[in-house]
Chain A
């Protein structure tokens, strides 16, 4: 709630740089959260998730190039994402664990290869320009600050839907598949269908992030879906906290902040980011989000408030105590 209010007043601060920075965080945050549905909740870590950002963004650029209006172009882009997800999902959900990682990596490279080489459609190396932002009736989104509110609204709606999905019966089935796929079958679940649906849902929200990205950046190129960017999305989810939904937004925030802000002042920002990544994996297994949640509980208990839920709090507390004890 506080975060929402802060997010709402950022454009009023008058700095276009911070608006642009926050727009990046929201768009990559949406992409990372959509990956978390698949990686954190279903246990299928995809190294090709940026492809759906790519298909969504290229879909917009191409549709506008062939003369569609912005609204049909959005529909065109999302259908392209859906078709890609339906096809890729058919292949990907047949395998698990490391094979899934490698297969999605390969699928991601196919999309990158098409963006790079299919020059007549994608513009190849030069990428494609996006001529302008949409306007709906009285609402004009051409300025960064007004587009920002559109992105914020879409972001909140998408995350709300994903929150409902991961807390639904279907979401519970995904976590069951993550924990023990074989047992799910003997409980009457057709796990392939559940994984396929999870893959498509995850991809669609990734595609929405792509549409937002195209209108934000006004230019699409193969770089945004290359191997490094696919890895970055996974990094956002892991740093933020797998299976926490909000964690990947924090992860996206940290990584975008380093890429676009710290990089101005610290030439070796990538090294610093790498160290943060390693420390998170080693010491905060729930990612930054899990670490913050534990810290919050610890502070509350310190302040004399009774613990909220018996078992988990006392367990978290002993962990925190053990950690601080060894640090003294």
Chain B
């Protein structure tokens, strides 16, 4: 995608608009009337206690779960009824809280799959995929960017936890998304790995819109500019990172002392 197009989109429509989105599982309402707007190019955080519905909200945005009611607009297009595959082709990428890579495939093959995801090559049947120069170049570039080059021929199952997290983000970025959903990129990382993950997130291209679920407030403060706070499937507060940190209600939710 060209920079011009990114600017045009940035000028014309927000990256994501949720309008009164609900998601019910039987009698349980996991997401209850969430509305939010994320401007193109923004760095946005979603926080809230465990079970607040953060990951469910991501699943509804990415299309892995259908919204029970409400509307979802991606870069000005209504995608509420669109399959997750088609949302990917509209520029949506995501990572998972529980990492989902391809364990028996090597790092090279993992990245190759992601690079091929939106290309015509994926139906090519009679030519070894490694002979496509553009695919190999894109794989090498991603590996370099995410410090995975020495591990290209190791199966993903052999990677350390930190490396798997990096691979996870690399898979999502391989499709050159315009909106990236990051589900707890810092979960389970050692302090050292956390530092490199933070550096990696801050290096992401500035025209990429980022929405991140994260518990680690230090990471949140460093990466995002604005925050929505979710509790029991509802938005209970939103504002800039500084405002949210000073918010009394948010502190109560996190300290568990709501009255």
Contacts and interface: CB of A to CB of B under 8 A. Distances in A.
B116 interface: yes
A173 B113 contact: yes
A95 interface: no
A190 B86 CA distance: 9
Contact of B122 (A164, A186, A189): A189
B101 A169 contact: no
20 contacts: A164-B126, A164-B127, A167-B129, A168-B128, A169-B124, A169-B132, A172-B105, A172-B109, A172-B129, A175-B102, A176-B113, A179-B103, A183-B100, A185-B84, A186-B62, A186-B84, A187-B88, A187-B117, A189-B117, A190-B85
Nearest to B113: A176
Interface residues of B, number: 40
B154 interface: yes
B128 A187 contact: no
A293 to B, nearest CB: 16
B114 A168 contact: no
Interface in B109-159: 109, 112-114, 116-118, 121-130, 132, 135, 153-154, 158
A173 B101 contact: no
B175 A188 contact: yes
B228 interface: no
B129 A168 contact: yes
Given A187-B117, A188-B118, A311-B154, A179 B105 contact: yes
Contacts of B96: 183
Q: 5 closest Cβ contacts across the A-B interface?
A: A188-B117, A179-B102, A187-B117, A169-B129, A188-B88
B89 interface: yes
Interface of A: 161, 164-165, 167-173, 175-176, 178-180, 182-190, 197, 309, 311-312
Contacts of A175: 102, 104-105, 109
B125 A165 contact: yes
A200 B100 CA distance: 28
Given A164-B125, A164-B126, A173-B122, A185 B85 contact: yes
Contacts of A172: 105, 109, 112-113, 116, 129
B64 interface: yes
Interface of chain A, main secondary structure: helix
B94 interface: yes
A167 B88 CA distance: 25
Contacts of B126: 161, 164-165, 168
Contacts of A161: 126
A187 B153 contact: no
Interface string B68-85: 000000000000000011
B85 A180 contact: no
Contact of A168 (B102, B127, B153, B154): B127
Contact of A176 (B94, B105, B154, B174): B105
B227 interface: no
B224 interface: no
B172 to A, nearest CB: 8
Interface of B: 62, 64, 84-85, 88-89, 93-94, 96, 100-105, 109, 112-114, 116-118, 121-130, 132, 135, 153-154, 158, 171, 174-175
Contacts of A180: 100-103
Given A161-B126, A164-B126, A175-B104, A186 B94 contact: yes
A147 B26 CA distance: 64
Nearest to A315: B158
A187 B171 contact: yes
Contacts of A197: 123
Please indicate which of the listed interface residues B103, B124, B154 has the most CB atoms of chain A within 10 Å of its own CB: B124
A182 B105 contact: no
A179 B104 CA distance: 7
Contacts of A188: 85, 88-89, 117-118, 175
B101 A183 contact: yes
Contact of A186 (B64, B125, B127, B135): B64
Nearest to B104: A179
A40 to B, nearest CB: 11
B171 to A, nearest CB: 7
Contacts of A164: 125-128
Nearest to A184: B113
Given A176-B102, A189-B122, 8 more contacts: A168-B129, A169-B116, A169-B122, A169-B125, A175-B102, A187-B113, A188-B117, A189-B85
Given A175-B104, A175-B105, A190-B85, A169 B117 contact: no
B123 to A, nearest CB: 6
A135 B124 CA distance: 35
B173 to A, nearest CB: 11
Nearest to A243: B104
A168 B129 CA distance: 5
A168 B118 contact: no
Please indicate which of the listed interface residues B103, B112, B113 has the most CB atoms of chain A within 10 Å of its own CB: B113
A189 to B, nearest CB: 6
B88 A169 contact: no
A192 to B, nearest CB: 10
A311 B153 contact: yes
